[in-house]
Amino acid sequence: MTFTRLNDRQLDALKEISNIGMGHAATALSQLIGETVHLRVPKVTVTDIARVPDLLGGAEKVVAGITLRILGDARGDILLIFPRDSARLLLSRLLGQAGTGAEMDEMGASTLKEVGNILASAYLSALGSLLHMTLIPSIPMLAHDMAGAVVDYVLIELSMRGDMALMVETEFHGDNPREEAIKGHFFLLPDHRSLDIILDAVGGGA
């Protein structure tokens, strides 16, 4: 399966499974931060790998990026991107006073990784039970840097087999009325072979 040959039914299937997975992840996040987390309708984008940084808001934009490999019956990457301000808000919400200015320290870093782990685990376990697969997240990795630099290792991995990337993106945001909303983007980037496996399992195989 090449990413460019997906039909509408397959794209819908990907959106739907991602919506369900992300629904579970959002529930986990809303319990963590104590407010409702809203989800946008997922977007499935098939694009040249060169365009991915632009789709993340620009290659130079500073973000907190948490990334996890998907292990088990299908392979791929999960990428959780928080704009810098949202990462700060999230930390101050989770850690209270200690979270102020914690963005770069060890406590802040391990908190953000843990958030990544919780969201990815919720997402993958929902996906796994839907598709009758075992999907396990790797240990999370974190970088505070330019979006382009944070994602390029995922692009390098994809570029070993082609020039295209398939991204399933869900935007989410909190709704605390007294504060600026925490925003983030959750990306699923299945590798080329795993896309077949996922589509077969969902009944949308070619």
Partner 1 sequence: MSGRERVGISEFRVARAPVVLVTYGLGSCLGIALYDPDSRLGGLAHTLLPRSRPDIVETRQTKFVDRSIHLMVEELLRLGGEKERITARIVGGANMFEPLHGSATVGIGERNAQTARLTLQSLGIELLAEDVGGAHGRTVEFDLASGDVRVRTVSRPASDLVL
34-93 residues near partner 1, rule: CB under 8 A: 49-53, 58-60, 62, 67, 69
Of 39 and 59, which has the nearer Cβ to partner 1?
59
Q: Minimal CA–CA distance to 21: which of 140, 169, 122? A: 122
Q: Minimal CA–CA distance to 53: which of 170, 140, 181, 156? A: 156
**Near partner 1 by CB under 8 A: residue from 38, 40, 161, 193:** 161
**Near partner 1 by CB under 8 A: residue from 12, 157, 171, 196:** 157
137-156 residues near partner 1, rule: CB under 8 A: 138-139, 141-153, 155-156
Residue 121: CB minimum distance to partner 1, A: 17
CB atoms near residue 13 (< 10 Å): 20
CB atoms near residue 146 (< 10 Å): 17
Cα–Cα distance for residue pair 51/148, rounded to 1 Å? 10
Of 35 and 157, which has the nearer Cβ to partner 1?
157
Numbers of helices and strands, H then E, in the chain = 6, 8
Residue 112: CB minimum distance to partner 1, A: 13
User: What is the three-class DSSP state of 206?
Assistant: coil
Q: Minimal CA–CA distance to 75: which of 205, 196, 201, 194? A: 194
Residue 27: CB minimum distance to partner 1, A: 28
Residue 54: CB minimum distance to partner 1, A: 9
Cα–Cα distance for residue pair 80/89, rounded to 1 Å? 15
Cα–Cα distance for residue pair 124/156, rounded to 1 Å? 23
Residue 180 engages partner 1 in binding (rule: CB under 8 A) = no
Of 145 and 175, which has the nearer Cβ to partner 1?
145
Contacting residues toward partner 1, per CB under 8 A:
49-53, 58-60, 62, 67, 69, 138-139, 141-153, 155-157, 159-163
